[in-house]
Amino acid sequence: MSEINDYLNAVIAGIQSHFGPRLSTVAPYRPDSLRTPAALVAIERMEQAGKAAADGRLPLGVSVAVHCILSHKTPNLQLALDSFATEVAVLAQNNYWELECVNDVPQQIGILPGELTPDIHGVDSRVVLWEQRILIGQGIYEFDTLIDEFHFTGPDGEETVIHV
């Protein structure tokens, strides 16, 4: 379904837009090349999140992991990682990523140590995690036009128009 790709791309674009030139790499997890500082985004898990929406779409709980990666040469590496990850968490907290299919703000935001270590890999990381509900599939209701006015006829036969 394109909603999953759209969601992943929107999260990547949102992080890139927020950090701008401060990040060398913003990409899906496992890029071909990695330059730090970097944010790598992965969808870790997807599962049904309740009954089908009123329009027939499947509500899907998506678990996201953003790997915030810095070089071991970064001054005050652990503090810098904590700051980087916290900034990503704050960015995510009320974000719908400008997508119609996103049904709720991120929930259960957390930050964990990454699996990389500066002495072995030359980089270290924090992982920002959250869950977000998105709606998947085509809705059963399609509207070609928006209703922007209502017409009422009163008991006296006079028509009233209300614009919305």
pLDDT at res. 59: 87
Predicted confidence at residue 145, as pLDDT, reads 54
Distances (CA, A) of 63 to 7, 46, 107, 132, 139: 12, 6, 10, 7, 23
Query: At the fourth CATH level, which superfamily is domain 2-163?
Result: Phage minor tail protein U (3.30.70.1700)
Can you tell me the distance from the alpha carbon of 97 to that of 64, in angstroms, rounded to the nearest whole number? 13
Q: What is the pLDDT of residues 34-56, one digit of tens each?
A: 899 999 999 999 998 877 766 67
- pTM for this prediction: 0.80
**Which amino acid type is present at position 146?**
L
148 has a pLDDT exceeding 70: no
Residue 76 has a pLDDT of 96
More confident residue, 162 or 94: 94
Query: What is the pLDDT at residue 49?
Result: 85
Place of tokens 């999953």: 4
Q: What is the pLDDT of residues 69-101, one digit of tens each?
A: 999 999 999 999 999 999 999 999 999 999 988
